[in-house]
């Protein structure tokens, strides 16, 4: 699911190397956290959130019994990963 989300959002971002998707799964849902460069956050959202809603619909079809939930996380520029 993480790879699908990254694939769907990559065309919207100027800094694809900084696009990160992580997931937290439980029995009824999957939380997908998206981290990106600050300059790309508005592109990921799209006008009036249309891009996020479109990807949410694709994920709902691909998610099966578990409900996918997308959260856009405002990460810091230059944040070190461990």
The reply to whether 79 falls in a domain is no
Domain that includes residue 8, residue range: 2-74
The reply to whether 81 falls in a domain is no
pLDDT over 60 (residue 79): no
The reply to whether 31 falls in a domain is yes
29: Cβ–Cβ under 8 A, 6 or more apart, which residues? 66, 67, 68, 69
* pLDDT score recorded for residue 22: 95
Phi, psi of 76 (to 5 degrees): -85, 145
Residues, the chain, total? 82
* pLDDT score recorded for residue 73: 87
Contact 10, 44 (CB under 8 A): no
The reply to whether 82 falls in a domain is no
Query: What predicted TM-score, i.e. pTM, was given to this entire model?
Result: 0.79
Per residue in 24-57, pLDDT (tens digit) is 988 889 999 999 999 999 999 999 999 999 999 9
The reply to whether 80 falls in a domain is no
* pLDDT score recorded for residue 81: 44
pLDDT over 90 (residue 63): no
């Amino acid at each position: 699911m993480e790879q699908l989300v990254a694939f769907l959002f990559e065309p919207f971002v100027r800094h694809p190397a900084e696009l990160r998707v992580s997931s937290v799964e439980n029995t009824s849902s999957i939380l997908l956290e998206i981290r990106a460069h600050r300059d790309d956050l508005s592109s990921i959202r799209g006008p009036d959130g249309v891009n996020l809603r479109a990807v949410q619909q694709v994920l709902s079809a691909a998610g099966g019994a578990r409900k996918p939930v997308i959260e856009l996380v405002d990460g810091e520029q230059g944040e070190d990963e461990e």
